[in-house]
Amino acid sequence: MKRIIPISTNPDVNWRNNDIQFPRLIAEMEAAGIFAQPGVLVNLAKEMDLTVDDICFLIDRAQQTWDSIKGEMFDDGTSGQDRESYSDTQDRKSYRPST
């Protein structure tokens, strides 16, 4: 059963939504290469009492969830290419609370 994650038009609400921010954090860590650093996956697996394969599975799930969330953000008819060019700066504006 697929879980529905509510996406708000209010960036402050999205910023406080753990169902959005936790998969985002993991997906962005993967994109930044954090998990590719030597020993990170092994140490994380030990800390979580999981296997490295289990950790990779969780990272993949987080990435799929984040991709789905980003897809919902672009339900305005923009193309997949537009989604791919969506910059990190724009992303932060969408999810970081206004100051």
Length of the chain: 99
Q: Is the pLDDT of residue 55 over 90?
A: yes
- Which amino acid is residue 37, in one-letter code? Q
Tens-place pLDDT, residues 73-96: 766 544 343 444 444 444 444 444
- For residues 29 and 71, which has the higher predicted lDDT (pLDDT)? 29
Mean pLDDT of 44-68: 95
Asked if 73 contacts 7 with a C-beta cutoff of 8 angstroms, the reply is yes
User: What confidence score (pLDDT) does residue 73 get?
Assistant: 75
Tens-place pLDDT, residues 22-50: 999 999 999 999 999 999 999 999 999 99
pTM of the entire predicted model: 0.70
